[in-house]
Structure 1
Amino acid sequence: MKIHLIAIGGSAMHNLALALHAMGHKVTGSDDEIYEPALSRLKKAGLLPERTGWFPEKITSDLDMVILGMHARRDNPELQKALNLGLQVISYPEFLYQHSKNKTRVVIAGSHGKTTVTSMVMHVCRFAGLNIDYMVGSLVNGFDTMVKLTEEAEFMVIEGDEYPSSALQMQPKFHFYRPNITAITGIAWDHANVFPTEEVYLEQFRTYLNQCEPGAAVLYFAEDQKLKHLVESSSLPIKKFPYATPAYEIINGNYQLNTSVGPIPLSIIGRHNMANVEAARWVCQLLGIQEDVFFESISTFEGASRRLQTLLEIDESRVFLDFAHAPSKVKATLHAIKEAFPQHKVVAILELHTYSSLSKDFLPQYHLSLQLADVALVYYNPRAVAHKKLPDLHPNEVAQAFGIDVKNVFTDTGELFQTAVSYRSDKNVFLIMTSGNFGGENLQIRAEQLLHS
């Protein structure tokens, strides 16, 4: 098929382009900005547009399909041309459903942990020799792309994002997938720009349950009371399987599961990740993978990119990078660090980058979210606030929302990291949490500055 991707430079979209190209489709695309790693990866595959921008002349009547990325606006000239020509225009979640409608669809959903659980399932399936199609929201160790599509795979494992699908279809991506098997890791209100209240956000998960195939297996984290009530109060024709955090121990900072086959050492840390392992175990069991195979393979899982990723370790000090940005994610990530390193001084460095985190109405949700840190530093970029067309944000407002001293709120990255360095000790953990990059900072270099004199 001839397929054109509008907004080909996006994280998911460029991986979809690579997967379609690998299948033998003729792929073209456009975007008004393409950054690394998408730029190099598209160029290597011969898919990088000659110029950035939107070019209606690329939209021709012989295209079989146009896939619309979330980055493209409704008034995009290429989109308008495609609609005028009557071409098939779909979002990438719609395409994933079309591709997998004759497969068993396994969807990992939830406000947090879905990338990690999806990555775990992918890792175990590869170890077990089970061929699967997949789509995940981050690069995973041992996998070249975030999307794999084939004709022959029986299963497709999909990370089910609740964010809108495209400018034409504002419903969440996971509403399109109609899972046969799903794991839901938890529910915590996020994306306040799209879901203005917690109830509106919860309704997306109710709708998601309604979209499950009849008889679908629904695995849910029973320690999350909102999720537990949502699933257990449902009268839908689904099979309900609650799961909980499994028994585990921490020995010299190393986590191990206590299982029926003996202790299983893990390379990941944090109570929330132990729950993620249990979700992945249930999913893999439903895929036909034996428990002993699961435990053997999960012991070698090192995590997804930017999920408690170790940037640097020197002697007894470390720098971690995590994607945490919503209040529940910040709390869980900080709890994991304090649990694993109880004798270390923990310096938390959080960037407010998303629309929700920079919104004055949502900011109070962060109250005391950093209280486990020995030192809590918060950064935001006023330009990001202006770009999102939000009211100006004052450091005093941020400090009050978090319950921290205003001197620990920064709008300049140089001052932020200089202050962080001043808290260096013999046994430090610096925890950098962001869904952005601190305005273009090289965080590997910053990690070296944090630990080196």
Structure 2
Amino acid sequence: MKIHFIAIGGSAMHNLALALHQKGDAVTGSDDEIFEPSKTRLNNKGLLPAKEGWFPEKITSDIDAVILGMHAKADNPELLKAKELDLKIYSYPEFLYEQSKTKTRVVIGGSHGKTTITSMILHVMNYHEKEVDYMVGAQLEGFDTMVKITDESDFMVIEGDEYLSSPIDRRPKFHLYKPNIALLSGIAWDHVNVFPTYENYVAQFEIFLNEITNGGAIIYNEEDPEVKRIVEATTSPIKKYPYRTPEYSVDNGTTLLATPEGPMPIEIFGEHNLNNLEGARWICQLMGVDADDFYEAIATFKGASKRLEKIAETKNAVAYKDYAHSPSKVKATTQAVKNQYPSRKLIACLELHTYSSLSPDFLKEYRGTLDSADSAVVFYSPHAVMIKQLEEIKREQIEEAFDRKDLVVFTNPADFKTYLYSQDYENSCLLLMSSGNYGGLDFEAVKGYIKKE
């Protein structure tokens, strides 16, 4: 096939481009800005556009499929040309479905834990040399790309994001996959710019359940009240398998998972991650991997990139980087680190970076989320608020929202950096939570400072 990507530089888009190139398709693309690591990865395969920008002349009648990324606008000149030529235009999820129609589609949904659960499943399959197609939202150890599409695999494992599909398709991505096997990990209001009310957000997951194929299966976290409610209420002709957090213990900084063979040390930690693990075990079982083989493989799983990723460690100090930004993730991640190192001082730093987290009306959802930390820090950029055209946020609003009198708030990247480098990290844990980079923080420099201390 001859395939053209409009906005090829995105994290998901460039990985799909690489996967299709690997499959043997002829791939071209355009974008008005491409950052690392996308730029280098595309260049290494000869897929990097010669010039940045949009070029309608690239859109020709012999193109079999145009894939439209969320970064493009509805009036994109290449998109308009594709419409004029009546070419087949797909959103990212539409194209994934098209490529997996003949396969068993396994879709992992939920407000949190999607990437980790999908990563666990893929790690187990890779460990046992079972070939599956996939799409996951983070780079995994042992995997070249975040997307793999072949003609041979029987399964496709997909991380089912609830965000919008494309500029001209306002449906959530996970509504388009029509899973044979699905998982729902949890529901906690997010993406308030798209789903302005909690009820509207929950309704998207109800639609997701209705899209499961007749006779299919839903694996669901019964410890989440909203998940339990909507799964048990659905009348779709599907099988329902509940799961809950397995028994585990923590011994001197090591998490031990209870298994039929006795306690087993694992690399990951935190109750939310153990809950994710149990969901992954159920999915793997339905994909033909028994419990013993699952436990053997999962013992070596170190986690997905930026998901409680250990960036530095000394005898008395440790630092983690995590993608947590929504209230439920922030609370679970902070609690997990404190439970893993109960005798150490926990310095938890959160950047408010997403549209939701910078919305004054949404801020109250963060109440109590940093309570597990010994020192709690919040960073946000007034410039980011202005760019997102949101109502101005004052420091007092942040302090009131988190409901913590000793909360430290920074709006200047240099001040935040000075704070980090002035701390005594003896017998401590540093937790950096953000989907951004704190206004340009050099994580390598932070890593070096911790190790020097």
Q: TM-score, normalised by structure 1?
A: 0.98
Q: TM-score, normalised by structure 2?
A: 0.98
Q: For the residues of structure 2 that align with 1:246 and 1:399, how far apart are their CA atoms? A: 36
Task: Map 1:132-151; keep pairs closer than 5 Å.
Answer: 132-151=132-151
Determine helix, strand or coil for the equivalent of 1:448: helix
Q: Residue in 1 aligned with 2:163?
A: 163
Q: Residue in 2 aligned with 1:306?
A: 306
Determine helix, strand or coil for the equivalent of 2:285: helix
Task: Map 1:256-295; keep pairs closer than 5 Å.
Answer: 256-295=256-295
Q: Residue 38 of structure 1 aligns to which amino acid in structure 2?
A: S
Q: Residue 247 of structure 2 aligns to which amino acid in structure 1?
A: A
Q: For the residues of structure 2 that align with 1:447 and 1:387, how far apart are their CA atoms? A: 30
Shift of 1:231: 0.3
* 1:157-205 CA distance string (max 9 Å, x none): 0000000000011111000001011111100000000000100000000
Shift of 1:440: 2.8
Q: For the residues of structure 2 that align with 1:365 and 1:79, how far apart are their CA atoms? A: 38
Q: For the residues of structure 2 that align with 1:356 and 1:401, how far apart are their CA atoms? A: 14
Query: Are 2:311 and 2:447, in contact at CA under 8 Å, matched by a contact in 1?
Result: yes
Q: Residue in 2 aligned with 1:75?
A: 75
Determine helix, strand or coil for the equivalent of 2:52: coil
Task: Map 1:276-355; keep pairs closer than 5 Å.
Answer: 276-355=276-355
Q: For the residues of structure 2 that align with 1:451 and 1:128, how far apart are their CA atoms? A: 36
Task: Show structure 1 runs of 4+ deviating over 6 A.
Answer: none
Determine helix, strand or coil for the equivalent of 1:214: coil
* 1:112-147 CA distance string (max 9 Å, x none): 001000000000011122110000000011111000
Shift of 1:449: 2.8
Shift of 1:407: 6.8
Determine helix, strand or coil for the equivalent of 1:171: strand
Q: Residue in 1 aligned with 2:13?
A: 13
Q: Residue 218 of structure 1 aligns to which amino acid in structure 2?
A: I
Query: Are 1:118 and 1:157, in contact at CA under 8 Å, matched by a contact in 2?
Result: yes
Q: Residue in 1 aligned with 2:101?
A: 101
Determine helix, strand or coil for the equivalent of 2:320: strand
Q: For the residues of structure 2 that align with 1:105 and 1:386, how far apart are their CA atoms? A: 41
Task: Map 1:209-248; keep pairs closer than 5 Å.
Answer: 209-248=209-248
Query: Are 1:347 and 1:423, in contact at CA under 8 Å, matched by a contact in 2?
Result: no
Q: Residue in 2 aligned with 1:196?
A: 196
The more displaced of 248-257 and 411-420 is 411-420
Task: Map 1:7-46; keep pairs closer than 5 Å.
Answer: 7-46=7-46
Determine helix, strand or coil for the equivalent of 2:165: coil
Shift of 1:406: 8.0
Shift of 1:31: 0.8
Shift of 1:444: 2.1
Determine helix, strand or coil for the equivalent of 2:210: helix
Q: Residue in 2 aligned with 1:87?
A: 87
Query: Are 1:417 and 1:450, in contact at CA under 8 Å, matched by a contact in 2?
Result: no
Q: For the residues of structure 2 that align with 1:417 and 1:451, how far apart are their CA atoms? A: 16
Shift of 1:294: 0.6
Q: Residue in 2 aligned with 1:53?
A: 53
Q: For the residues of structure 2 that align with 1:439 and 1:11, how far apart are their CA atoms? A: 20
Shift of 1:402: 1.2
Determine helix, strand or coil for the equivalent of 2:321: strand
Determine helix, strand or coil for the equivalent of 1:158: strand
Query: Are 1:186 and 1:224, in contact at CA under 8 Å, matched by a contact in 2?
Result: yes
Q: For the residues of structure 2 that align with 1:165 and 1:103, how far apart are their CA atoms? A: 21
Shift of 1:439: 2.3
Q: Residue in 1 aligned with 2:360?
A: 360
Q: For the residues of structure 1 that align with 2:150 and 2:158, how far apart are their CA atoms? A: 14
* Percent of aligned pairs with the same amino acid: 54
Q: Residue in 2 aligned with 1:416?
A: 416
Q: For the residues of structure 2 that align with 1:436 and 1:22, how far apart are their CA atoms? A: 30
Query: Are 2:375 and 2:407, in contact at CA under 8 Å, matched by a contact in 1?
Result: no
Q: For the residues of structure 2 that align with 1:314 and 1:250, how far apart are their CA atoms? A: 19
Q: For the residues of structure 2 that align with 1:213 and 1:80, how far apart are their CA atoms? A: 34
Shift of 1:405: 4.5
Q: Residue in 2 aligned with 1:154?
A: 154
Q: For the residues of structure 2 that align with 1:73 and 1:442, how far apart are their CA atoms? A: 32
Query: Are 2:417 and 2:441, in contact at CA under 8 Å, matched by a contact in 1?
Result: no
Shift of 1:448: 2.5
The more displaced of 334-343 and 395-404 is 395-404
Q: For the residues of structure 1 that align with 2:355 and 2:165, how far apart are their CA atoms? A: 17
Give the unaligned 5+ runs of structure 2. none
Query: Are 1:56 and 1:77, in contact at CA under 8 Å, matched by a contact in 2?
Result: yes
Q: Residue in 1 aligned with 2:380?
A: 380
Query: Are 1:318 and 1:428, in contact at CA under 8 Å, matched by a contact in 2?
Result: yes
Query: Are 1:257 and 1:265, in contact at CA under 8 Å, matched by a contact in 2?
Result: yes
Q: Residue in 2 aligned with 1:65?
A: 65
Q: For the residues of structure 1 that align with 2:441 and 2:171, how far apart are their CA atoms? A: 33
Q: For the residues of structure 2 that align with 1:126 and 1:176, how far apart are their CA atoms? A: 26
Q: For the residues of structure 2 that align with 1:447 and 1:414, how far apart are their CA atoms? A: 17
Query: Are 2:313 and 2:450, in contact at CA under 8 Å, matched by a contact in 1?
Result: no
Determine helix, strand or coil for the equivalent of 2:229: helix
Q: Residue 212 of structure 1 aligns to which amino acid in structure 2?
A: I
Shift of 1:416: 1.1
Q: For the residues of structure 2 that align with 1:382 and 1:425, how far apart are their CA atoms? A: 29
Q: For the residues of structure 2 that align with 1:91 and 1:77, how far apart are their CA atoms? A: 17
Q: For the residues of structure 1 that align with 2:160 and 2:192, how far apart are their CA atoms? A: 18
Q: For the residues of structure 2 that align with 1:377 and 1:450, how far apart are their CA atoms? A: 18
Q: Residue in 2 aligned with 1:184?
A: 184
* 1:359-381 CA distance string (max 9 Å, x none): 11111111111111101110011
Query: Are 1:270 and 1:336, in contact at CA under 8 Å, matched by a contact in 2?
Result: yes
Q: For the residues of structure 1 that align with 2:405 and 2:73, how far apart are their CA atoms? A: 40
In structure 2, the CA distance between the partners of 1:425 and 1:23, relative to structure 1 (3 Å rule), is: closer
Query: Are 1:424 and 1:451, in contact at CA under 8 Å, matched by a contact in 2?
Result: no
